[in-house]
């Protein structure tokens, strides 16, 4: 028998989903059901529920690197805002 776990980072975002041979007791490891659809970057809300961030849209091929970096910076800020809102108990 294996145990499915989500490992959380400091911001409660999933950094990995693992199958382990034994149960573990760690604050950063959340035991999952086999049917739980939890993926890296999902955010654990602390009440057993998960929030999946909106997917990042890939830029069109041929876009200059500076524009790609600007797109990534915008996505990072949006993700940070979402995490801050969730940590404050908002939606």
Q: What is the pTM of this model?
A: 0.60
Q: Which string of b and e fits 34-59 if b means at least 16 CB within 10 Å?
A: eeeebeeebbbeeeeebbebeeeeee
**Which residues, given as ranges, of the chain have pLDDT below 70?**
59, 90-91
Report the pLDDT value the prediction gives residue 49, as an integer from 0 to 100.
92
pLDDT value of residue 63? 81
pLDDT, position 19: 96
For residue 68, the model assigns a pLDDT of: 81
């Amino acid at each position: 028998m294996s145990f499915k776990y989500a490992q959380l980072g400091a911001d409660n975002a999933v950094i990995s989903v693992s199958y382990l041979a034994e149960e573990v007791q760690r604050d950063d490891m959340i035991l999952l059901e086999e049917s739980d659809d939890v993926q890296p970057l999902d955010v654990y809300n602390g009440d057993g529920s998960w929030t999946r961030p909106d997917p990042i849209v890939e830029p069109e091929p041929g876009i200059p690197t500076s524009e790609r970096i600007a797109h990534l910076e915008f996505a990072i800020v949006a993700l940070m805002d979402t995490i801050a809102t969730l940590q404050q108990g908002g939606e």
